[in-house]
Amino acid sequence: MTTIDSSDAPMSPGEITAMRRENLHLREIASQTMSRILQIDTQMIAIRHELEQKRRGFRLMSELAFTMMNRETDHENDFIVVCRHINVILNMQRTVLLVPDKDENNLFRVLISQGYSPEEQNRLARVEIRIVDKTLLDPINPVLITKATPDTYLASFRKILGLPFLISSPVLLYNELVGILITGRLDERMPFLPRLGRNDVETVQTVASYMAAIQLGHLFLEAENLANYDPLTRLPNLRRIKEGLHQVLVMSRRNGTLGAVLFIDLDGFKSINDTYGHAAGDAVLHSVAKILAGSVRESDIIGRIGGDEFLAVLSGLFSSDHAVSVAAKIIHKLSQPIEIYNALQCTIGASIGVCVFPDGDKDEIALIKTADEAMYAAKKNGKNTCVVSGRTGV
């Protein structure tokens, strides 16, 4: 019996047309699938880029928080640290902080410039930048300049800073402009220098707010220093001394130990001001502050209460003789020649009144007054000596 293989039979025109349609349909499905895969891949790349931007932003803020913790520097040094971290962590090439001119509106100077050569930094330090475009001062919509931005937009500003692609955000403190933070790149090239984006803008905005917080912290610190320390010698002032004396007095009563207040008045200081001028007098006061600080223990307090008058608070004494020996040491040191400047020397002295405590129910104000009275007794006894309250001159 003979069999016939149907596969060898020729296809009819209708079957051929149907097969072609099926093949075309499959190609369309494959093309759509590939397009979707490419779209998903593009989206994944964008998501990875966005996550990387956010990761850099989080890392920057966390490292700044750690680095700035317990720093005791001026705000300019803190701003330099911030700008360096921006360049390193956000992969920026240059970062600048502009500060407004105190006398003229819309005029700014470069306070910080990181990522520049020394020659460029010197050039920028001499530049005055007049900002006319108010968009640079808008805290809600920071400036973002990428390759998509027209070359004419802020062209002169970009040229001065040498930053073709940048992000700019104002630094505001209580709605007052205290600076403009600008950071950016010289080029945009994947994968290491991708186009700046909104996440970078948000990070720079956050850093600008952080810089405002740094400024605020330093303003508070300056206010506290003015309230508690003598601006010339940086020694505690009368207010701070009273606070410290109160604590020492409480501890002395609790522990059964003695303390002492030394009221120190310089002898012959007025003649230095009259002869050489107030600058020489200030230099002498600086030297006296160092001598006094070197004459007592770190646990003791040395302060200036004004003019040529100083106070020392000694704690943990076991006898009044210790206070007398400290006073004698101070008198000896201050009787030695003091160099003012340019090898010019002067000689002064000191009259010291000593009040040992606890002294009945006297508080810190009464103790200082008693030491003051003893100091005047030392002046009457010929100066350059000390008198202990309740004793005869020593």
Residue 256 region by backbone torsions, left for phi larger than 0, else alpha for psi between -120 and 50, else beta: left
pTM, to two decimals = 0.59
Residues 280 and 312 in one domain: yes
End residue of a domain, out of 226, 254, 273: 226
Burial classification of residue 139, based on how many CB atoms lie within 10 Å of its CB (0-12 exposed, 13-18 middle, 19 or more buried): middle
- For residue 110, the model assigns a pLDDT of 93
Cα 326 from chain centroid (whole Å): 38
Whether 97 is covered by a domain: the verdict is yes
Residue 28 lies in a domain: no
Q: Go through 255-291 and write b for each residue having 16 or more CB atoms within 10 A of its CB, e for each that does not.
A: eeebbbbbbbbbbebeebeeebeeebbebbbebbbeb
Look up the CATH number of the domain holding residue 245. 3.30.70.270
**Residue ranges of the chain whose pLDDT lies below 50:** 1, 4, 393-394
Q: Round to whole Å and give the CA distance between 202 and 208.
A: 10
pLDDT at residue 181, as a whole number: 93
Residues forming the active site: 308
Q: Provide the domain limits for residue 253.
A: 238-388
Q: What is the pLDDT of residue 211?
A: 82
Instruction: Write down which residue in 226, 251, 282 finishes a domain.
Output: 226
Could you tell me if residue 356 is inside a domain? yes
Output the pLDDT for position 200.
Answer: 83
* Burial profile 13-41: b = 16 or more Cβ within 10 angstroms, e = fewer: eeeeeeeeeeeeeeeeeeeeeeeeeeeee
Q: How far apart are CA 220 and CA 199, in angstroms?
A: 32
Helix (H, G, I), strand (E, B) or coil at 393: strand
- Both 72 and 192 in a single domain? yes
Residue 289 domain flag: yes
Residue 125 lies in a domain: yes
Extract the tokens encoding 88.
Answer: 């390193």
Render pLDDT for 57-68 as a digit per residue (tens, 0 to 9): 556 556 655 555
Radius of gyration of the chain (CA): 37
Note whether residue 250 is domain-resident. yes
Q: What is the pLDDT of residues 133-166, one digit of tens each?
A: 888 998 888 999 998 899 999 999 999 999 999 9
Beta carbons of 169 and 208 less than 8 angstroms apart: yes
Give yes or no: residues 181 and 274 share one domain. no
Q: If you search the block for the tokens 């300049």, which residue do you land on?
A: 145
Instruction: Indicate whether 222 and 243 sit together in one domain.
Output: no
Please count the structural domains in the chain.
Answer: 2
* Residue among 331, 324, 318, 322 nearest 379 (CA): 331
Query: Which value, to the nearest 10 degrees, does the dihedral of the CA atoms of residues 53, 56, 61, 67 take?
Result: -160
Same domain flag for 188 and 327: no
Do 175 and 303 reside in the same domain of the chain? no
Same structural domain for residues 284 and 168?
Answer: no
- For residue 202, count CB atoms less than 10 angstroms from its CB and return exposed for 0-12, middle for 13-18, buried for 19 or more: middle
Q: What pLDDT score does 208 carry? A: 86
Q: How far apart are CA 303 and CA 239, in angstroms?
A: 10
Do 211 and 277 lie in one domain? The reply is no
Q: What is the pLDDT of residue 24?
A: 77
Is position 17 within any domain? no
Same domain as 280, residue 222: no
* Beta strand 94-100 pairing with 128-130: unpaired
Of residues 174, 188, 180, 24, the one with CA closest to residue 92: 188
Q: Can you give the pLDDT at residue 75? A: 64
Give the tokens for residue 185: 């790149």
- Give the end of a domain, one of 181, 197, 226: 226
Q: What is the pLDDT of residue 86?
A: 81
**Same domain assignment for residues 218 and 242:** no
Alpha helices by DSSP H, listed for the chain, are 13-68, 75-89, 118-125, 155-161, 198-228, 238-255, 269-276, 278-293, 320-334, 364-380
141 located within any domain: yes
173 plus 269 within the same structural domain = no
Q: What is the CATH number of the domain that holds 201?
A: 3.30.450.40
Shared domain for 194 and 80, answered yes or no, is: yes
Chain CA centroid to CA 378, Å: 46
